[in-house]
């Protein structure tokens, strides 16, 4: 069921969005060559406890997960692009890191993701991250109450195809509110003018994710981490966005912290 939020409820969602933004900005600043993925998870867990927030991941067990996730943040590295289960891995020079984080604050959920390089970057990785960020910006720009879900999907797809990328639509954006995943599904490719109309009060987690040379993925032996079928690298960017008649509100915006 698709739920619409009142202006007052959207205001109540702001603290969750702000907290998610702060955590991701902190983790990106602290994550370096030599950082262990388990340390990232522990740091996020500590920040959740201090804030009195609630993890959306630790007990999460959907049909596509082998078991409850058991951690509080997704850490996807290099050829892993989604649902990366933190494990005993020390980051190396040039690793492409994607962090996906969702929490509930006072009963309201916010969800966001970032991708970045630790150490010496490769040009093709920077280009992939830039494309994913531009696709997210296009999705947000298309989040107008005069549009439909297909307009968001088409905007994301246009950015990807302009860079010669192919798109996997198995996982994409989704409704968010009292729970992390709700209706509607927002694929990263579609036809403009089609689908559910974007109405004031609709809150979506928009999340373009792309792989460099494929759109095929497989599930790692850990039962969670999704990796590219050909070993190419992936990038993932996400914001929680509320639709209003005055335009979209990015609830997980990090610009107030002086970062993108």
Q: Is 88 annotated as a binding residue?
A: no
Q: Is 207 annotated as a binding residue?
A: yes
Q: Is 45 annotated as a binding residue?
A: no
Over the range 104-135, which residues count as b (16 or more CB within 10 Å of their CB) and which as e? bbeebbbbbbbbbbbeeeeeebeebbebbbbb
Measured from the Cβ of residue 245, the count of other Cβ atoms closer than 10 Å reads 11
What is the DSSP secondary-structure string of 142-154? Answer: T--TTSBHHHHHH
- Rounded CA-CA distance 29/217 in Å is 29
Sort residue 151 into left (φ over 0), alpha (ψ -120 to 50) or beta. alpha
Which 8-state DSSP code applies to residue 86? P
Q: Is 174 annotated as a binding residue?
A: yes
Which 8-state DSSP code applies to residue 210? E
- For residue 94, give both structure tokens: 């040039």
- Rounded CA-CA distance 24/112 in Å is 8
Sort residue 216 into left (φ over 0), alpha (ψ -120 to 50) or beta. beta
Q: Is 83 annotated as a binding residue?
A: yes
Question: Minimal CA–CA distance to 188: which of 140, 234, 156?
Answer: 156
- Rounded CA-CA distance 43/99 in Å is 13
Reported residue count of the chain is 260
Residue list for the binding site for substrate = 83, 181
Annotated binding site for a divalent metal cation: 100, 111, 174, 207, 238
Q: Which residues are annotated as a binding site?
A: 83, 100, 111, 174, 181, 207, 238
């Amino acid at each position: 069921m698709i739920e619409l939020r009142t202006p007052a409820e959207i205001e109540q969602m702001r603290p969750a969005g702000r907290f998610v933004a702060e955590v991701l900005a902190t983790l990106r600043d602290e994550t370096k060559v030599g950082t262990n993925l388990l340390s990232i998870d522990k740091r996020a867990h500590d920040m959740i406890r201090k804030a009195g927030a609630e993890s959306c991941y630790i007990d999460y067990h959907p049909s596509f997960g082998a078991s409850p996730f058991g951690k509080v943040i997704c850490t996807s590295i290099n050829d892993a692009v989604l649902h990366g289960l933190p494990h005993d891995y020390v980051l190396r020079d040039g690793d492409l890191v994607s962090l996906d984080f969702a929490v509930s604050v006072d009963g309201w959920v916010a969800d966001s993701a970032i991708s970045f390089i630790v150490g010496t970057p490769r040009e093709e990785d920077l280009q992939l991250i830039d494309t994913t960020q531009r696709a997210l910006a296009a999705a947000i720009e298309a989040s107008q109450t005069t549009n439909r879900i297909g307009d968001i999907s088409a905007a994301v797809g246009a950015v990807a195809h302009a860079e010669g990328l192919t798109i996997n639509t198995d996982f994409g954006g989704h409704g968010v509110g009292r729970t992390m995943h709700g209706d509607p599904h927002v694929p990263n490719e579609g036809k403009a003018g089609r689908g559910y109309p974007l109405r004031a009060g609709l809150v979506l987690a928009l999340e373009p994710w792309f792989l460099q040379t494929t759109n095929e993925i497989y599930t790692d032996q850990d039962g969670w981490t999704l990796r590219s079928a050909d070993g190419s690298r992936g990038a993932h960017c996400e914001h929680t966005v509320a639709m209003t008649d005055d335009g979209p509100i990015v609830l997980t915006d990090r610009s107030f912290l002086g970062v993108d």
